[in-house]
Amino acid sequence: MARVVVDVMLKPEILDPQGKAVHGAFGRLGFDGVADVRQGKRFEITLDGEATEERVAEIRKAADTLLANPVIEDYTLHVENGQ
Amino acid sequence: MKIGVVTFPGSLDDADARRAAAVAGAEAVALWHGDEDLHGVDAVVLPGGFSYGDYLRAGAISRFAPVMETIIKRAGEGMPVLGICNGFQVLCESHLLPGALIKNHHRKFVCKDQALRIENNSTAWTSDYDANHEITIVLKNQDGSFVADEATLDRLEGEGRVVARYLGNPNGSYRDIAGITNERGNVVGLMPHPEHAVETLTGPTTDGLGFFTSVLKAVVPS
């Protein structure tokens, strides 16, 4: 079984209030020297069988239509061939 | 005149939206997210709430509900559609309206009476307001910050498609935008809640009623 990983991040120009909150907590906990925190989403998609070019293209389509909103987010996709 | 109000799993304001439609003089029809049939309605309201728990992104999963396929098609043919709060998020995710709604910049849930200026009174949902009419209705949201790239914002402003603007920005929305419309003026998305301001017993004003009376004229010319 192959796994496709999709990492979604807000575009750099879009404010990330959740990242800001985490950044604030870093400071309160004494983790110094942190300039910025941005929070994203990671999707681990396990396929039945191999990650053929066709199947990965399907997942890319799912990322474009569902997992990421291109108005505010970018994503990267990679295949992990386990076992 | 029948106004349909969609209930998604996690919708909160569907009953208030149906009540507002009835107060305005329409027949309110409950629509179900899993039913692609619009049951003969003349206009549709997508209500506020947290459909599908706001999982993934607010409105992202609702956009693919069977009822939305029909609504997207009919909206393209000119049927009036009003998305309020979560409904606005669904309209953006459906690409019926440009831009997106992200978390409030101050990271807190907002619940307050909010002043707005109606800047476009030629849409299907705002014709009963005077130009630059200032109204006060309820605002309650977590993901209320309207964002879009500069070119889109310029286009919305240039084409007069900003329907309502906040008087005092409560959530970080770019250019104080509270509501927008599509090119045709039949689809409107609004973050504040007109359906909670149709009766003085429960609302701050009756300023929200105009959205629901306007659409009666859009569908049944007097």
Which residues in chain B have their CB less than 8 angstroms from residue A18's CB? 103, 107
Domain boundaries, chain A: 3-80
Closest Cα partner for A78 from A66, A63, A69? A63
User: What integer is the mean pLDDT of B204-213?
Assistant: 98
Token representation of residue B164: 């309502």
Cα separation values, B48 from A19, B53, B154, B222, Å: 26, 12, 27, 30
With tokens 């017993």, the residue in question is: B201
Nearest CA distance, A67 vs chain B (angstrom): 7
Task: Please give the pLDDT value at position A81.
Answer: 74
For residue range B9-55, list pLDDT tens digits in order: 999 999 999 999 999 999 999 999 999 999 999 999 999 999 999 99
Indicate the average pLDDT of chain A. 94
Task: Please give the pLDDT value at position B220.
Answer: 64
In angstroms, the CA B194 to CA B2 distance is 18
User: From the list B60, B106, B107, which residue is nearest A69 (CB)?
Assistant: B60
- Domain A3-80 sits in CATH 3.30.1280.10: yes
Nearest CA in chain B to A40: B56
Reported as half-sphere exposure (CB side, CA atoms, 13 A), residue B203 has a value of: 24
With tokens 């964002």, the residue in question is: B147
Nearest CA distance, A66 vs chain B (angstrom): 7
Angle at Cα B58 formed by Cα B56 and Cα B64, nearest 5°?
A: 75
